Amino acid sequence: MTIEEFRKHGHETVDWIADYYSTIEKLPVKSRVQPGEIFSQIPDSPPDKAEAYSTILEDLNTKIIPGMTHWQHPNFHAYFPGNSSFPSLLGEMVTSALAAQCMVWDTSPAAAELEEKMMLWLKQMMNLPKSWHGVIQDTASTGTLVALLSARENTSRHDINLNGFGERKFRVYCSSQTHSSIDKAVKIAGIGISNLVKIDTDQNLAMDVKHLKQSIMKDIDQGFTPCAVVSTLGTTGTMAMDPVPEIAEVCREFGIWHHVDAAYVGSAFLLPEYQHYTKGFETVDSYLFNPHKWMFTNFDCSAYFVRDRDCLIKTFEILPEYLKTRSRGKVNDYRDWGIQLGRRFRALKLWFVIRDFGVSGLQSKMRQHIGFSEWIEDKINDHSDFEMVVPRIMNMVVFRYCPGNIDPDHYDKLNEQLLDRINQSGSAYLTHTKVSGNYVIRLVTAQTYLEWKHVENVWKVIVEESEKIL
């Protein structure tokens, strides 16, 4: 492709993107293809000769799009969103165009310095502790792994990096509701999954601090070394909020690393009315949230903050000859702030998003999203065949279908059927969780381009599909 051909096809591709977004509502939210359907349409061998760009775009429409679940569809209410937005998309295009490898300051000073500044902006926007140091990780899973590796090194005074675990028996604590990325990080960090202690939760599915303290004391008695506690703000199942200030107190008492995973909900700390959840953050050792979830910034972009920068760097630093630079020590070389050596220029899309929306623009979109969930909660409460399963927190409703004329023993099956019908309809995509052993449906109103008409539509679909079951 020559540069002039690139210009032409680039315009065509931007037109393709604009058409995709303006007609997305005609597509089923969740892909309806069967396993293997897409695979079988892709030739077994690559083309020997160059193909026309128009043929590639045509195949994109006919072979790929039918197999896509449309995360940017305004009727996407599943999981937590992986939001894009137009400024973010444009930022990603420029990142791809620059195609810089931002491992150290010297390999792109602007990338390192914009990243540093964006982390300062986020701290200011969300009133996070001034003493924290920020870096962009790819995902929350990576951020949590970085946190647990730092905790491991902090606990062993950097001896495990040097000599391995030896006879040490470390323990990590989190609630039974935390995300599976904690389990994964414990496994990878060599701590051993049997040393991940799942703490009971209270009636709101938040960590029971009494049980945490008892478990720590019992472990110390039995010769274990408590290494880290992971609190979650906004659990994936129901948005439960662990009591961070009380957990921080326990961590301080026993000298344990305290990591807070606010992957989804952290974006809401842009809103002063939710900043009370950040109480106790001053003593938190590491913290993360994903702008790629509810801050309209393309996947992947996870903001990671740490109190002790030196511990982080000491855990990850490497210094082969070819990476020695004259600027070392005067600048941030982010290859030492996490796992990857090669790093994308992720700060650029964040810069585009924050500037294009403005802080107040981001805030008003989030408040609108919370209002949408409030409306659905009212609808559920007003309908005799539905009930809220846990109190709504922000923009997630967790509910179930529970018609009075049906034996409650059948509710699980009924809700499974209802969810399947909604998702098969193509008009909305929701997912489920289990609360107290019961199968329940969760609905998140957070898609970037969600409007009232879509919210009214999803409620209509839920009611219509429930009526069809009986």
Ligand X SMILES: Cc1ncc(COP(=O)(O)O)c(C=O)c1O
CB 225 within 8 A of CB 171: yes
CB 465 within 8 A of CB 99: no
Sole window of 26-34, 92-100, 230-238, 449-457 interacting with ligand X (rule: CB under 6 A): 230-238
| Nearer of residues 141 and 447 to ligand X, judged by Cβ | 141
**Tokens 């009494």 correspond to what residue?**
210
Tell me if 304 contacts ligand X by CB under 6 A: no
Q: Which of 75, 154, 232, 448 binds ligand X (CB under 6 A)?
A: 232
The answer for residues whose C-beta is within 8 angstroms of residue 413's C-beta and 6 or more apart is none
Give phi and psi for 189, each to the nearest 5. -75, 0
Name the nearest CA neighbour of 221 among 171, 183, 164: 171
Supply the minimum distance, in Å, between the C-beta of residue 232 and ligand X.
5
Tell me if 116 contacts ligand X by CB under 6 A: no
Instruction: Name the burial class of residue 231, with classes exposed (0-12), middle (13-18) and buried (19+) by CB atoms within 10 angstroms of its CB.
Output: buried
Cα gap 349→351, rounded to integer Å: 5
CB 200 within 8 A of CB 211: yes
**137 DSSP assignment:** E
Tell me if 139 contacts ligand X by CB under 6 A: yes
The site string for ligand X over 186-225 (x = CB under 6 A, - otherwise) reads ----------------------------------------
Tell me if 340 contacts ligand X by CB under 6 A: no
Sole window of 102-110, 158-166, 231-239, 308-316 interacting with ligand X (rule: CB under 6 A): 231-239
Name the nearest CA neighbour of 123 among 311, 284, 343, 333: 284
Supply the minimum distance, in Å, between the C-beta of residue 179 and ligand X.
4
| Nearer of residues 204 and 225 to ligand X, judged by Cβ | 204
Cα gap 283→310, rounded to integer Å: 16
Tell me if 332 contacts ligand X by CB under 6 A: no
Give phi and psi for 397, each to the nearest 5. -115, 135
Q: If phi over 0 gives left and psi between -120 and 50 gives alpha, with beta otherwise, what is residue 329? A: left
Tell me if 368 contacts ligand X by CB under 6 A: no
| Nearer of residues 84 and 141 to ligand X, judged by Cβ | 141
Question: At 394, which amino acid appears?
Answer: M
| Nearer of residues 150 and 236 to ligand X, judged by Cβ | 236
- What is the number of residues in the chain? 470
The site string for ligand X over 24-63 (x = CB under 6 A, - otherwise) reads ----------------------------------------
Tell me if 140 contacts ligand X by CB under 6 A: yes
The site string for ligand X over 65-104 (x = CB under 6 A, - otherwise) reads ---------------x------------------------
Question: At 390, which amino acid appears?
Answer: V
Tell me if 236 contacts ligand X by CB under 6 A: yes
Sole window of 94-102, 261-269, 350-358, 390-398 interacting with ligand X (rule: CB under 6 A): 261-269
Sole window of 13-21, 184-192, 232-240, 450-458 interacting with ligand X (rule: CB under 6 A): 232-240
Supply the minimum distance, in Å, between the C-beta of residue 433 and ligand X.
11
Instruction: Name the burial class of residue 36, with classes exposed (0-12), middle (13-18) and buried (19+) by CB atoms within 10 angstroms of its CB.
Output: exposed
Q: Which of 278, 290, 423, 466 binds ligand X (CB under 6 A)?
A: 290
Tell me if 343 contacts ligand X by CB under 6 A: no
Tell me if 179 contacts ligand X by CB under 6 A: yes
Tell me if 263 contacts ligand X by CB under 6 A: yes
Cα gap 190→227, rounded to integer Å: 12
Supply the minimum distance, in Å, between the C-beta of residue 134 and ligand X.
16
Q: Dig out the tokens for 337 from the structure.
A: 């702030």
Largest CA distance in the chain: 76
Give phi and psi for 131, each to the nearest 5. -75, -10
Q: Dig out the tokens for 6 from the structure.
A: 């690139």
Cα gap 157→153, rounded to integer Å: 6
Tell me if 432 contacts ligand X by CB under 6 A: no
Tell me if 264 contacts ligand X by CB under 6 A: yes
Supply the minimum distance, in Å, between the C-beta of residue 350 and ligand X.
15
Give phi and psi for 4, each to the nearest 5. -70, -40
Question: Contact residues for ligand X (CB under 6 A)?
Answer: 80, 139-141, 179, 181, 232, 234, 236, 261, 263-264, 290, 302
